[in-house]
Amino acid sequence: MSHHIVEAKDLFFRYPDGTEAVKGISFKITHGESVAVVGANGAGKSTLLQHLNGYLIPTKGELRIGEVMLTRKNVHAIRRSVGMVFQDPDDQLFMPTVFDDVAFGPLNLGLSEENVKAKVNQALETVGMLHVIKRPPYKLSGGEKRSVAIATVLAMSPDILVMDEPSSNLDPLARQRLIGLLKGFHHTKIIATHDLDMALELCERTIVIHDGRLTADSRTLDLFQNESLLAESGLAKPLSMQGCHVCSGTAKQFQPRTVNHTH
Amino acid sequence: MAKLDSQLFHIDALDELASGNSVFHNLDPRAKLVTTLVFIGTVVSFGKYEVSALIPFAIYPLVLISVGGLPFFYLAERVLLVAPFAFFIGILNPFFDQTIMVHLGSVSLSGGWISFFSIMLRFLLTVGSALVLIALTGFHAVCMGLEKLGVPRPFVVQLLFLYRYLFVLIDEASRMIRAKSLRTFHSRGTKIRTFGSMLGHLLLRTLDRAQRIHLAMCCRGFDGHVRLICPLKIGWKETIFVLGWVLLFFSMRFYHISEHLGLMIMRNIV
């Protein structure tokens, strides 16, 4: 299906203050692909991601989502097909109850009341959050908020899911649950992250960005074995590929100290 | 500064109350909005020295609270929080207006004190009923009601954002104050330089955050219209609600219930 393609051609973006955040990035992501966008802090990941839903318009180059070229005029069509999950779920949840929040998008799409309710229930069920439907979002835990934020996007039935650091600020169990959830989605997924272990589990392909340029684009596993490339881009090999420190005997042992405090 | 985030501004709990389920909760927001506006208009229209005729008007917020199952003390506390504003508006009256108007036994009351009480009473009634309206309806639904009643969209959206960003602002401010107080040891208060810089930072931070929230809203198709699933139908319940209350307000406005009640009781005693 050609309409789920994301294609960037020589994308440039310069902020009004003159900072060039994206300097000529090109890639093509096809239907159903799951792609990780990795890079150090300030590499330009977030700026790139903000193009994907039309928040930023490239100063040069072009971005195509499906058959639609990103311009100021057709931003709405782009936003309709690209669902964006923000880094901070508090930015994404702004209505008084979880139900209202998830219903916000579908209502703006002009769906009927019955339809909206069905969509909300379905989206919340998918992320396993149906039990919090009546609660105010700000009273949920971090993991719950993240799941609800994903539900708000799912309820709009996007073709492409774009996520900014979905595993940040989650406890290990919530993180694992999130990975399991994302594995079950068949959307085209673009995930910007520092969590290379998650990228390894979720994405077959990885794009590395360094200083606004694309420095690598290949199979995740191959890429993460290239330690020099990772180091150049301000990254490090994922923990799961570093071998077990405990088994190899290289793990640091902490001994209880026997110092007498006299003060 | 725990007060700022936990105590003073817990207005968001009002929205939680709005998710309740009572006859009044389920009414069209427009019906409640119009009735409350008429209520406020009537209360405000009384003369400067009116006190006794205002008291029966308390029936409106009280009935709404009891039928809607709202927590009385929680609402009373919110009203009292803003009471200082009304207090300072009225407190100069007793000094300027010292003509004696009422004798209660050996105590005589000047016109200034009476108008002061009148201001406080009006304040309690109007602010109280506005809070009850939001607690029964929810802020978003009130905004939607305003839009449906023909209030220009830019105003409604302003109101909506004002409400939404209030929490963002409080959040950012309380975090900043916490960070400052952890590094302030002996000196009390805030130096004007520090204060200015904090204020500037607060502005920049909230602008940033507001932008992200706006982006999140745009991503989900926000186009300036408030859309909610809530009963939007003027049925017989709404008609009875509005007409019943408005009739009662007008009769209380033109027929002095407390005075007649008092006279009746006095006549029976004598």
Minimum distance, in Å, between the CA of residue A167 and any CA atom of chain B: 19
- Checking if the pLDDT of A42 tops 50, the result is yes
Classify A64 as helix, strand or coil.
strand
Tell me: the pLDDT tens digits for B34-67? 999 999 999 999 888 888 888 889 999 999 999 9
First CA to last CA distance, chain B: 59
Contact A134 B19 (CB under 8 A): yes
Q: Which residue of B has its CA nearest to A79?
A: B219
Q: What is the tally of structural domains in chain B?
A: 1
Decide if B32 is inside a domain: yes
Counting residues of chain A whose pLDDT is more than 90, the rounded percentage is: 34
**DSSP secondary structure code for residue B245 in this structure:** H
Decide if B192 is inside a domain: no
Instruction: Among B16, B216, B225, select the one facing A94 at the smallest CB separation.
Output: B216
B164 touches chain A (CB under 8 A): yes
B139 touches chain A (CB under 8 A): yes
Q: Which residue of B has its CA nearest to A117?
A: B229
Return the ∠ at Cα B77 (arms to B71 and B81), rounded to 5°: 150
- Checking if the pLDDT of A20 tops 80, the result is yes
| Domain with B252 in it | 19-137+235-269
- What pLDDT, on the 0 to 100 scale, is given for residue B186? 66
Contact A53 B219 (CB under 8 A): yes
Could you tell me whether strands A188-193 and A160-164 are parallel, antiparallel, or unpaired per DSSP bridges? Answer: parallel
Averaged confidence pLDDT in chain A: 87
B225 touches chain A (CB under 8 A): yes
- What pLDDT, on the 0 to 100 scale, is given for residue B1? 43
Write out the H or E segment, with its range, that includes residue A26. Answer: strand A20-29
Q: Do A91 and B219 form a contact (C-beta atoms < 8 A)?
A: no
Nearest CA among A210, A214, A250, A254 for reference residue A233: A210
Decide if B83 is inside a domain: yes
Which of these CATH numbers, 1.10.10.10, 3.40.640.10, 3.20.20.100, 3.40.50.300, describes A2-90+160-248? 3.40.50.300
Q: In the structure encoding, which two tokens stand for residue B226, read together? A: 């408030």
Decide if B179 is inside a domain: no
In this prediction the pTM is: 0.74
Chain-centroid distance of CA A223 in Å reads 19
B212 touches chain A (CB under 8 A): yes
Q: Map tokens 């805030």 to a residue.
A: B190
Q: Inter-axis angle of helices A172-183 and A142-154, to 10 degrees? A: 20
Give CA–CA dist B142/A203, Å, rounded. Answer: 45
- For the segment B133-141, the average pLDDT, to the nearest whole number, is 87
Q: Which residue of A has its CA nearest to B138?
A: A96
Decide if B102 is inside a domain: yes
Question: Which residues in B lie closer than 8 A to residue A151 (C-beta atoms)?
Answer: none
Averaged confidence pLDDT in chain B: 83
Contact B229 A103 (CB under 8 A): yes
Give CA–CA dist A165/B132, Å, rounded. Answer: 41
Minimum distance, in Å, between the CA of residue B140 and any CA atom of chain A: 8
Contact B229 A107 (CB under 8 A): yes
Contacts of residue B44, Cβ cutoff 8 Å, sequence gap at least 6: B122, B126
Q: Do A53 and A131 form a contact (C-beta atoms < 8 A)?
A: no
Decide if B40 is inside a domain: yes
Decide if B39 is inside a domain: yes
Does the ipTM exceed 0.90?
A: no
Give CA–CA dist B136/B151, Å, rounded. Answer: 21
Minimum distance, in Å, between the CA of residue A254 and any CA atom of chain B: 32
pLDDT band at residue B2 using 50, 70 and 90 as cut-offs = very low
- Checking if the pLDDT of B231 tops 80, the result is no
pLDDT band at residue A239 using 50, 70 and 90 as cut-offs = confident
Decide if B110 is inside a domain: yes
Tell me: the pLDDT tens digits for A72-89? 888 888 888 899 998 888
